């Protein structure tokens, strides 16, 4: 393998929960940065490490159990290995779970790339009395094996030197033997596809491709065919060879490969481990006996959820207030400064009410996000997250969602922004997207002031009941939307739930703090710009043309409100309501503030009276329904765009939710009038 | 019988894996292939996913997924037998648990 100018390109592969991320952190430290794999919404972590005269460029592949074509994570990992051809692949293997981890190694071995195995969590294996013969393992796998304890940095230097060593040699592991019948089929296929010149030049790994064709791998098949004009003939010959093999084996190609690979893993495992597991209950089992107990499991989970919610939103309120005050001071000082410097009123307003307020609007989310992700990281790294999904899946699945969707939804009752960000725990892309689209329907705390206002103005005797009905509606709509969107968008696609419950770990503080910091930073960087821009646009709409009173009928916002008046009259409100709703795009709390400004009232009591004279109970309820359902706030839109990687779904959310809101509000108002409730 | 019909602490060997596509591939990723032995550990409270131990890994799967796996029971594992000491449950508590398990 030639290494170009002292730069070694490394791919980091391994099972989820194998400690791969810790190894990546140890190798790259703060040099790591996050991008996206092209065309998908999976995060791509890349980092660097200098050692001697070499520079290592390390790409962290998504954690996968295998390299099949079935999930985006696996496709991304496989495509990188097949097409980018890194100089070395470092496979991180969990020493306390060696047999299963070797299944992935079996597949990487066939890719004709130099490998180094990082035998991680060797301390945990030792603790369980598992001793592994490193030399034997190395000989059987055909690659150097370096024991590591990533959490404490043990073995990292040796790993690095091993990687550098391997990159200098022509060191390629020996692929598996699949048995006479299968091997013959694979060789025949190899010859068939090698006959096509463009293909032979494209890949060095004809054996891997042949094996994939034997397993009827759809992706590889289409890749090979697209490279070749003689595609149809090749496809037919390959099909024939595969069929012959499957008939002789009595087994389809995919199963054959899986069986053989597991057999290889199992064989090696029993050769190198001198204390193979007995199915004895481990500490993890004992803990699960409590946490997954049929009586106390769910109450404990509820308790943990409550704790996290309380910490995020109740405790988080303090730093949020500080930030609020801080920005109040900053804007006041800045305003004074600018006034005395003689800047125009419009410019001052733009800077203070627009930009500063906008920045404040971004930073105000930080306490929630930081606290929340601190806890979510603990849940994930400790292994409890999988248990939570296990407990909640029955209910979630009924609504077309995944057990792991539960926590984001609960968070959504506080604030949608961190809820959307926490959907990252969902491994499956479709599940994650569906959950993200549902979250805006969950009644977030920012909408509550609107409800409180209207219920106190128009439903004095029934305030609690009406508020409760809003929560009920929110849940009902979420459920119905989940089912509907699943059918419409995903054609009722069934995604696998099959999930590992990893052994419990004490999470490393360093890792948690790093994760939390990354999330917060990414939010500010990516969502921040959008929120800032949105705030300034709204400010402009409300304050321009110059001279117009804020949000009055002469401002652009007012004119837009007037433009929409016919549409909003349908569900019983007027241009002032429209303007308030438009401003609600920035943040739902602003709806109340805007109503107050437009009603030209000084305080809430007056506002309630003012509203009481404009709205009837029915039109108030319709307005509330509209507020409940319509477009998410800018921050949520920004979060959706960031998490889904494209504008498509963010815009869909705006359009779908607002359209639905209009329909429902109209049904409530017009339907109510028809029945005579009006 | 299929995996979802196993009782808690049953030890079973997989005879066949039905199903197709992503779900079957996932099952095979975890080593759920013919000839593999699994131990049924528990079911989520209120019904829902099962938890099994296979090749040293704890795996959870939904009833619909478990239905795809044909198994043959070969004995007991976990608490009730195997290498364990007969479990923490004693006397009345053990009989109560057994009664409760059987009611599952």
Q: What is the DSSP string of A337-374?
A: HHHHHT--HHHHHIIIIIIIHHHHHHHTTHHHHHHHHH
* A267 lies in some domain: no
Q: Are residues A201 and A106 in the same domain?
A: no
Q: Is B49 on the interface with A (CB under 8 A)?
A: yes
B65 and A254: CB-CB below 8 Å?
no
The pair of three-digit structure tokens given for residue A14, joined into one six-digit string: 């391994």
Judge contact between B94 and B79, C-beta under 8 A.
no
Residue A308 has phi, psi (to 5 degrees) of: -65, -45
* A265 lies in some domain: no
The pair of three-digit structure tokens given for residue A409, joined into one six-digit string: 């939804």
Q: Are residues A346 and A236 in the same domain?
A: no
- Confidence band of B83 (pLDDT split at 50, 70, 90): very low
pLDDT at A607 over 80: no
DSSP E strands in A15-136: the ranges are: 33-36, 43-51, 54-60, 88-94, 115-120
Q: What share of chain A has pLDDT > 90, as a percent?
A: 26
Residues of chain A numbered 34-73 and touching chain B (CB < 8 Å): 65-66, 68, 70-71
DSSP B49-87: -EEEEETTEEEEE-HHHHTTEEEEEEEE-TTSSTTS-S-
Write down the pLDDT at residue A101: 94
Query: Using CA atoms, how far apart are residues A87 and A432, in angstroms rounded to an integer?
Result: 33
Write down the pLDDT at residue B39: 93
Residues of chain A numbered 236-255 and touching chain B (CB < 8 Å): 254-255
Average pLDDT, chain A: 85
Judge contact between A46 and A33, C-beta under 8 A.
yes
Query: Using CA atoms, how far apart are residues B84 and A286, in angstroms rounded to an integer?
Result: 13
Q: Are residues A428 and A548 in the same domain?
A: no
Of A496-510, A558-572, A658-672, which one has max mean pLDDT? Answer: A658-672
Query: Using CA atoms, how far apart are residues B72 and A70, in angstroms rounded to an integer?
Result: 29
Query: Using CA atoms, how far apart are residues B17 and B34, in angstroms rounded to an integer?
Result: 7
Measured between beta carbons, the chain B residues lying within 8 angstroms of A99 are 31, 55-56
Ramachandran assignment for A250, one of left (phi > 0), alpha (psi -120 to 50 degrees), beta (any other): left
Of A353-357, A367-371, A514-518, B61-65, which one has max mean pLDDT? Answer: B61-65
pLDDT at A530 over 90: no
- For the entire predicted model, the pTM comes to 0.83
pLDDT at A15 over 70: yes
Write down the pLDDT at residue B82: 42
Q: Are residues A140 and A235 in the same domain?
A: no
Say if residue A196 is preceded by a cis peptide, omega within 30 of 0: no
Please compute the mean of the pLDDT values over residues A542-562 and round it to a whole number: 76
Q: Are residues A159 and A36 in the same domain?
A: yes
Q: Are residues A161 and A216 in the same domain?
A: no
Is residue A573 classed as helix, strand or coil in its secondary structure? coil
Judge contact between A430 and A332, C-beta under 8 A.
no
Query: Using CA atoms, how far apart are residues A458 and A611, in angstroms rounded to an integer?
Result: 8
User: Which residue in A70, A293, A502 is closest to B22 by CB distance?
Assistant: A70
- Identify the CA nearest to A425 among candidates A480, A388, A474: A388
The pair of three-digit structure tokens given for residue A676, joined into one six-digit string: 């005579």
Indicate the helix (H) or strand (E) that contains A391: helix A384-398
- Identify the CA nearest to A517 among candidates A309, A373, A322: A373
* A233 lies in some domain: yes
Domain boundary among A168, A195, A226: A168
Indicate the helix (H) or strand (E) that contains B12: strand B10-17
Domain boundary among A168, A200, A216: A168
Burial class (CB in 10 A: 0-12, 13-18, 19+), A405: buried
Judge contact between A537 and A583, C-beta under 8 A.
no
* A281 lies in some domain: no
Write down the pLDDT at residue A198: 53
Write down the pLDDT at residue A528: 78
Write down the pLDDT at residue A281: 72
Please compute the mean of the pLDDT values over residues A330-345 and round it to a whole number: 83
Cα angle A528, A531, A536; round to 5: 125
pLDDT at B90 over 80: no
Q: What share of chain B has pLDDT > 90, as a percent?
A: 52
C-alpha torsion sign, points A632, A638, A639, A641? positive
- Identify the CA nearest to A101 among candidates A257, A265, A255: A265
Residues of chain B numbered 59-88 and touching chain A (CB < 8 Å): 59-62, 65, 77-79, 82-84
Query: Using CA atoms, how far apart are residues A291 and A289, in angstroms rounded to an integer?
Result: 6
The pair of three-digit structure tokens given for residue A399, joined into one six-digit string: 């609504």
Of residues A381 and A138, more confidence is placed in A138
pLDDT at B104 over 50: no
Global ipTM: 0.82
pLDDT at A384 over 60: yes
- Confidence band of A199 (pLDDT split at 50, 70, 90): low
Closest chain B residue to the Cα of A263, Cα to Cα:
B31
What's the topology of domain B3-102?
SH3 type barrels. (2.30.30)
Say if residue A624 is preceded by a cis peptide, omega within 30 of 0: no
Please compute the mean of the pLDDT values over residues A304-328 and round it to a whole number: 88
Among the ranges given (A11-20, A485-494, A575-584, B59-68), the one the predictor scored with the smallest mean pLDDT: A485-494
User: What does DSSP assign to residue A461?
Assistant: G
- Identify the CA nearest to A163 among candidates A324, A36, A49: A49
Closest chain A residue to the Cα of B22, Cα to Cα:
A70
Q: Are residues A142 and A213 in the same domain?
A: no
Query: Using CA atoms, how far apart are residues A555 and A537, in angstroms rounded to an integer?
Result: 13
Measured between beta carbons, the chain B residues lying within 8 angstroms of A390 are 44, 48-49, 51, 60
The pair of three-digit structure tokens given for residue A104, joined into one six-digit string: 């992935």
Any idea which residue has 């295998």 for tokens?
A66
Domain count across chain A:
4
pLDDT at B94 over 70: no
Judge contact between A616 and A605, C-beta under 8 A.
no
Query: Using CA atoms, how far apart are residues A465 and A390, in angstroms rounded to an integer?
Result: 34
Q: Is A499 on the interface with B (CB under 8 A)?
A: yes
Any idea which residue has 């203070």 for tokens?
A352
Of A59-73, A537-551, B46-60, which one has max mean pLDDT? Answer: B46-60
Residue A178 has phi, psi (to 5 degrees) of: -95, 10
pLDDT at A529 over 50: yes
Among the ranges given (A66-70, A295-299, A654-658), the one the predictor scored with the smallest mean pLDDT: A66-70
Judge contact between A411 and A636, C-beta under 8 A.
no
Domain boundary among A168, A201, A223: A168
DSSP E strands in A30-151: the ranges are: 33-36, 43-51, 54-60, 88-94, 115-120, 145-147
Residues pairing with B10 in the sheet: B76
Measured between beta carbons, the chain A residues lying within 8 angstroms of B49 are 390, 393-394, 403, 497
- Confidence band of A212 (pLDDT split at 50, 70, 90): confident
How many Å from the N-terminal Cα to the C-terminal Cα in chain A? 80
Q: Are residues A124 and A231 in the same domain?
A: no
Q: What share of chain A has pLDDT > 70, as a percent?
A: 94
Write down the pLDDT at residue A517: 85
Q: Are residues A515 and A603 in the same domain?
A: no
Query: Using CA atoms, how far apart are residues A38 and A357, in angstroms rounded to an integer?
Result: 35
Indicate the helix (H) or strand (E) that contains B40: strand B37-43
Closest chain A residue to the Cα of B82, Cα to Cα:
A279
Among the ranges given (A89-98, A242-251, A340-349, A437-446), the one the predictor scored with the smallest mean pLDDT: A340-349
Per-residue pLDDT tens digits for A114-135: 999 999 999 888 887 888 999 9
pLDDT at A439 over 90: yes
* A214 lies in some domain: yes
The pair of three-digit structure tokens given for residue A203, joined into one six-digit string: 């890949």
Write down the pLDDT at residue A282: 79
* A457 lies in some domain: no
Any idea which residue has 């022509």 for tokens?
A170
Residue B70 has phi, psi (to 5 degrees) of: -90, 130
Please compute the mean of the pLDDT values over residues B30-54 and round it to a whole number: 92
pLDDT at A269 over 70: yes
Structural domain range at position A419: 298-446+463-493+510-522
Any idea which residue has 């060797």 for tokens?
A122
Per-residue pLDDT tens digits for A77-91: 988 988 888 999 999
Among the ranges given (A171-180, A560-569, A651-660), the one the predictor scored with the smallest mean pLDDT: A171-180
Our CA-based measurement puts residue A279 at a distance from the nearest CA of chain B, in whole angstroms, of 6
The pair of three-digit structure tokens given for residue A335, joined into one six-digit string: 């305003």
Of residues A286 and A606, more confidence is placed in A286
Burial class (CB in 10 A: 0-12, 13-18, 19+), A334: middle
A293 and B25: CB-CB below 8 Å?
no
Query: Using CA atoms, how far apart are residues A462 and A460, in angstroms rounded to an integer?
Result: 6
Our CA-based measurement puts residue B48 at a distance from the nearest CA of chain A, in whole angstroms, of 5
- Identify the CA nearest to A15 among candidates A151, A124, A117: A117
* A611 lies in some domain: yes
pLDDT at A208 over 90: no
Judge contact between A190 and A115, C-beta under 8 A.
no
Q: Are residues A161 and A189 in the same domain?
A: no
- Identify the CA nearest to A405 among candidates A428, A426, A430, A375: A426
* A132 lies in some domain: yes
Write down the pLDDT at residue A434: 92
Of residues A370 and A360, more confidence is placed in A370
Measured between beta carbons, the chain A residues lying within 8 angstroms of B21 are 70
- Confidence band of B84 (pLDDT split at 50, 70, 90): very low
Please compute the mean of the pLDDT values over residues B16-29 and round it to a whole number: 88
Query: Using CA atoms, how far apart are residues B65 and B33, in angstroms rounded to an integer?
Result: 14
User: Which residue in B31, B49, B53 is closest to A279 by CB distance?
Assistant: B53
Please compute the mean of the pLDDT values over residues A560-582 and round it to a whole number: 85
Among the ranges given (A350-364, A450-464, A654-668, B24-38), the one the predictor scored with the smallest mean pLDDT: A350-364
Any idea which residue has 């507020």 for tokens?
A627
A100 and B57: CB-CB below 8 Å?
yes
- Confidence band of A400 (pLDDT split at 50, 70, 90): confident
Q: Are residues A344 and A436 in the same domain?
A: yes
- Confidence band of B62 (pLDDT split at 50, 70, 90): very high
Judge contact between A74 and A101, C-beta under 8 A.
no
Write down the pLDDT at residue A520: 84
pLDDT at A197 over 70: no
How far from the centroid of its chain's Cα atoms is residue A251's Cα?
37
Query: Using CA atoms, how far apart are residues A405 and A388, in angstroms rounded to an integer?
Result: 10
């Amino acid at each position: 393998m030639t290494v170009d100018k002292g730069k070694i390109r490394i791919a980091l592969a391994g099972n989820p929960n194998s400690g791969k991320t810790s190894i990546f952190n140890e190798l790259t430290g703060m040099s790591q940065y996050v991008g996206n794999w092209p065309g998908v919404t999976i995060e791509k972590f890349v980092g660097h490490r200098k050692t001697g005269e070499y520079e290592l460029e390390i790409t962290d592949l998504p954690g996968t159990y295998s390299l099949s074509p079935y999930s985006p994570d696996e496709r991304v990992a496989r495509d990188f290995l097949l097409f980018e051809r890194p100089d070395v692949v470092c496979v991180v293997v969990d020493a306390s779970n060696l047999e299963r981890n070797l299944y992935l190694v079996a597949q990487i071995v066939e890719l004709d790339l130099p490998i180094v195995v990082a035998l991680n969590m060797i301390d945990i294996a030792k603790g369980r009395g598992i001793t592994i013969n490193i030399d034997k393992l190395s000989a059987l796998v055909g690659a150097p094996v370096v024991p590591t304890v990533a959490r404490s940095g043990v073995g990292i230097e040796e790993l690095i030197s091993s990687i550098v060593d391997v990159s200098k040699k022509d060191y390629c592991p020996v692929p598996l033997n699949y048995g006479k019948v299968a091997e013959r089929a694979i060789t025949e296929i190899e010859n068939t596809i090698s006959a096509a010149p463009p293909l032979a030049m494209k890949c060095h790994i004809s054996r891997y491709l042949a094996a994939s064709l034997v397993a009827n791998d759809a992706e590889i098949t289409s890749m090979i065919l697209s490279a070749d004009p003689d595609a149809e003939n090749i496809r037919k010959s390959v099909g024939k060879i595969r069929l012959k093999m499957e008939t002789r084996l009595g087994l389809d190609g995919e199963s054959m490969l899986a069986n053989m690979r597991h057999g290889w893993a199992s064989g090696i495992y029993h050769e190198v481990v001198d204390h193979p597991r007995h199915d004895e209950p481990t500490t993890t089992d004992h803990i699960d006996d409590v946490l997954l107990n049929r009586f106390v499991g769910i109450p404990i989970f509820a308790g943990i959820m409550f704790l996290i919610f309380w910490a995020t939103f109740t405790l988080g309120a303090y730093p949020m207030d500080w930030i609020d005050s801080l920005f109040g001071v900053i804007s006041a000082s800045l305003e004074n400064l600018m006034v005395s410097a003689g800047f125009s009123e419009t410019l001052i307003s733009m800077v203070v009410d627009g930009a500063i307020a906008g920045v404040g609007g971004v930073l105000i989310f930080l306490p929630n996000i930081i606290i929340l992700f601190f806890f979510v990281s603990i849940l994930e790294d400790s292994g409890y997250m999988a248990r939570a999904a296990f407990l909640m899946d029955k209910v979630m699945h009924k609504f077309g969602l995944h057990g792991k969707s539960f926590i984001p939804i609960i968070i959504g009752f506080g604030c949608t922004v961190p809820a959307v960000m926490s959907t990252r725990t969902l491994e499956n892309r479709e599940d994650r997207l569906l959950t993200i689209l549902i979250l805006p329907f969950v009644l977030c705390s920012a909408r509550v002031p609107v409800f409180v206002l209207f219920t106190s103005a128009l439903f004095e005797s029934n305030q609690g009941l009406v508020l409760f009905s809003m929560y009920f509606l929110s849940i009902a709509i979420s459920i119905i939307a989940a089912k509907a969107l699943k059918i419409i968008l995903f054609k009722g696609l069934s995604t696998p739930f099959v999930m590992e419950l990893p052994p419990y770990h004490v999470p490393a503080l360093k890792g948690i703090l790093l994760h939390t910091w990354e999330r917060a930073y990414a939010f500010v960087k990516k969502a921040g710009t959008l929120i800032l821009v949105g705030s300034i646009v709204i400010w402009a709409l409300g304050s321009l043309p110059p001279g117009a009173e804020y949000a009055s009928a002469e401002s652009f916002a007012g004119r837009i409100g007037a433009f929409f008046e016919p549409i909003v009259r349908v569900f019983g409100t007027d241009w002032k309501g429209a303007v308030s709703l438009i401003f609600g795009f920035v943040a739902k709390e602003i709806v109340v503030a805007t109503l107050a400004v437009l009603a030209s009232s000084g305080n809430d009591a007056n506002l309630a009276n003012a509203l009481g004279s404009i709205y009837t109970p029915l039109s108030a309820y319709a307005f509330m329904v509209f507020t409940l359902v319509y477009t998410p706030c800018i921050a949520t839109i920004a979060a959706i765009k960031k998490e889904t990687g494209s504008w498509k779904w963010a815009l869909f959310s705006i359009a779908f939710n607002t359209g639905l809101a209009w329909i429902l509000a109209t049904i409530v108002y017009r339907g109510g009038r028809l029945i005579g409730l009006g | 019988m299929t995996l979802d019909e196993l009782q808690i602490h049953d030890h079973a060997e997989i005879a066949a894996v039905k199903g197709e596509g992503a779900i079957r591939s996932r099952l095979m990723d975890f080593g759920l292939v013919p000839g593999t032995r699994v131990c049924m550990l528990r079911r989520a409270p209120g019904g829902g996913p099962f938890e099994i131990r296979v090749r040293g890994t704890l795996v959870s799967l939904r009833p619909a997924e478990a239905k795809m796996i044909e198994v043959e029971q070969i004995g007991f594992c976990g608490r009730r037998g195997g290498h364990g000491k007969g479990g923490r449950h004693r006397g009345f508590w053990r009989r109560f648990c057994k009664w409760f398990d059987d009611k599952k």
